Amino acid sequence: MRAKSSEAVSMSTESQFSQVSYVDIGPEQAGQRLDNFLIKILKGVPKSRIYRLLRKGEVRVNKGRVKAESRLKEGDIVRLPPIRVAERGEMPAVGRQLKQYLADNILFEDDGLLIINKPSGLAVHGGSGVSLGAIEALRAEHPELRFLELVHRLDRDTSGCLMLAKKRAVLLALQQDMQRNYIEKRYTALSKGRWPKGKNTINAPLRKNTLQSGERMVRVDASGKASVTHFKSLQQYPSATLLDIKLETGRTHQIRVHCQFAEQPIAGDPKYGDEHFNESLKPLGLKRLFLHARYLRFKHPLSGDWVEVEAPLPADLEKVLTKL
């Protein structure tokens, strides 16, 4: 089979590769690790199978054996052996309501970047029992985009600013800026009780743990990764505090675990929250985690201009505040 673009190969993985095929690497794929590239285009093939093919030398680049961590370059030719790919069902259709929401909640868009106001309850991607996430829905709604990837993640129950890259160069640049803390990310949250005066920063390392049930939990642990969160009280209520929160690092569940560590858990948090506090807010209409990714400020990788994006607090959370 003659060389084809990686986009064409990824579209063909719904059936079987009955013969050797070759893939041309274009500018959007240049710089990717070989293993990550294969995992992306060979959807339906177990990772263990992909790594076995690499170890045995059945996948080649420019006719030579290569390691999984090798970086691809524009113009490379990747040889793929005959591979049986599991048949996948059709991607669930994007419902009319979600289609309309996504169309109405674009906060920023240009040739390299898309930022949406993600609703609470929508996962950023499918998997683990979730058939359709934000990235799949957006790809389905924008088939003209050859490249669309998540720059970062938000918890399923967290609403607000979500960045997606339309170019690989934008993706890599923004992810690097996040690692260097060059992107300002601010959240709005409602926490239990009165936030302690003077507690402006929590610097507590976090470690991920997986329970026997498979559920992922995060806790403060001296052996964990460095994690820093900054807090500012915006409004005091009889039983809660409205907070402006700035992330210095971006660990999984960081804000939620740091609030729990401060003994001021976030309202509506089923995993790290206070059950009695959560129950007391249900009559006020709180049916979700009160955590909203409100604001982003960053330098655009293509133009070099500073970009500021703000997602207004959702109406359901505003209503809760009026009843406190």
Choose the weakest-confidence range: 35-39, 71-75, 112-116, 202-206.
35-39
Residue 155 a catalytic site member: yes
pLDDT per residue as tens digits for the range 280-318: 999 999 999 999 999 999 999 999 999 999 999 999 999
pLDDT, position 10? 47
- The mean pLDDT value for 108-124 works out to 96
Q: Which candidate in 24, 104, 155, 221 is catalytic?
A: 155
Is the CB of residue 124 less than 8 Å from the CB of residue 154?
Answer: yes
Three state DSSP letters for 267-284: CCCCCCCCHHHHHHHHHH
Backbone angles phi, psi at 262, to 5 degrees: -80, 0
In the chain the domains, ranked by start, together with CATH numbers, are 3-80 (3.10.290.10), 96-323 (3.30.2350.10)
pTM of the model: 0.76
Gyration radius from the chain CA atoms: 22
